[in-house]
Amino acid sequence: MKKRIVEQLKVIKENTVDLISEEEITRKLQKAFKENRPLKLKIGFDPTSSDIHLGHTVLLKKLRKIQDLGHIVYFIVGDFTARIGDPSGRKNLRPVLTQKEIISNARTYTRQAFKILDKKGTKIIFNSRWYKTLSLIDFLPLLSRYTVARMLERDDFSQRMKEGRPLTILEFIYPLIQGYDSVMMRADIEFGGTDQKFNLIVGRHLQESFGQEPQGVVTMSLLVGLDGKNKMSKSLGNYIGITEKPSQMLGKVMSISDETMWEYFRILTDFDLEKIKKNHPKEAKLILAREIVTAYYSSEIADKERREFERVFSKRKIPLELPVYTASRASVDLIEVLYKTKLVSTRNEARRLIQQKGIKDVGKEGFTIEDRMISIPPGGVILKIGKRKFLKIIYRTD
């Protein structure tokens, strides 16, 4: 049994930032083996967006490895806590979601999670299960189990108060509500990003105050987004979703900086970093992009997209498959077309591209589009938007 514990502890510790604590988790493994039961591994996601992105997969891939050792993942969908919005790492208030948005996002989260997690070894739990029946009389004692001083030990809370930015009472009690999930499911170990450390520790303290054995805590590095500065986030638009088209996925990986690329290799893959660094940075980035597309599609699709990428961006050819917009007239508002086809996230982004001469007519050898209103010739027009996007616009003549 000792050898088995050492092997499993090695998997749990691999690439972790915080481990609270090795001794406690060792004891939990010993107890689980003696009782012939799996550990309860807790991971929680608030469905604040519709996509799981590569940042989420850091934890999911870790959990899959521990699942393969025989333990059970309890995937907590924070359909209740999403109404509050996790303030972790936030400088400002999160927007409030409607119940309809939360339910819709939750459906996609659970479906996408099984691209990584073993479905048989995963239990999906919505935390509204216990909160929708919890009365105010039952909830108030929970608030007495943590002091204001202790809550202000959290850096982002104290920073917002110092700078005079809003901090609602609802956000203030969020860690308690998340921590209460651990009490209700009697979690053995909870996993989260480094920005979740405070919340996870609150879960430990609450379990102790309810007479339970405190959960172990494992945190892992946050994946930086495409901008190379902020953590990957849907709200910041610097993310790669795991259900994006393979061409988009590969293109986004190729757009990151070399410095960010090495961090992606370290966090997202099992490659030997020293061996990979012997490659030219462009070739290394192609290896990374292929690995990521393969993980969520197949090696065949990844190879096809790599060949197409090199054909378009190294040999400067037009993509074989182009998104097509069919206009009802021979003149169109380019800003509206780009926004409707989702090639830009906002109309202001489209305006900036036009002002910065970032849109070119491929058929006229890179002729720059400088006006939002453009005329469509009978055969249509192919535009290059920014560095990596293309669009063909045609119009109906009938």
What per-residue confidence (pLDDT) applies to 208?
94
What per-residue confidence (pLDDT) applies to 315?
66
CB contact at 8 A, 175 and 154: yes
**Which pTM does this prediction carry?**
0.78
Phi and psi at residue 168, to the nearest 5°: -80, 155
CATH number at residue 62: 3.40.50.620
CA atoms within 13 A on the CB side of 372: 13
The ranges of the chain with pLDDT < 70 are 84-96, 315, 365-366, 397-398
Can you give the residue range of the structural domain that contains 381?
324-395
CA–CA dist 211, 192 (Å, integer): 23
What per-residue confidence (pLDDT) applies to 28?
96
Question: Do residues 210 and 331 share a domain?
Answer: no
Q: Is 227 left (phi over 0), alpha (psi -120 to 50) or beta?
A: alpha
Question: Do residues 32 and 95 share a domain?
Answer: yes
Question: Do residues 252 and 331 share a domain?
Answer: no
Q: In what order do the strands lie in the sheet with 122-126?
A: 16-20, 216-220, 189-193, 40-45, 72-77, 122-126
pLDDT in tens, 337-390: 888 888 887 888 888 888 888 888 877 766 778 788 888 888 788 888 887 788
Rg (CA), the chain: 24
CA–CA dist 373, 227 (Å, integer): 31
Any domain includes 235:
no
Residue after which a domain boundary falls, among 288, 314, 340: 314
Any domain includes 239:
no
Question: Do residues 288 and 372 share a domain?
Answer: no
Question: Do residues 155 and 284 share a domain?
Answer: no
Instruction: State how many domains the chain has.
Output: 3
Question: Do residues 117 and 161 share a domain?
Answer: yes
What per-residue confidence (pLDDT) applies to 292?
96
CA atoms within 13 A on the CB side of 161: 14
Residue after which a domain boundary falls, among 150, 185, 220: 220
Question: Do residues 164 and 27 share a domain?
Answer: yes
Question: Do residues 308 and 368 share a domain?
Answer: no
What per-residue confidence (pLDDT) applies to 167?
79
CA atoms within 13 A on the CB side of 304: 11
Residue after which a domain boundary falls, among 314, 347, 367: 314
What per-residue confidence (pLDDT) applies to 93?
47
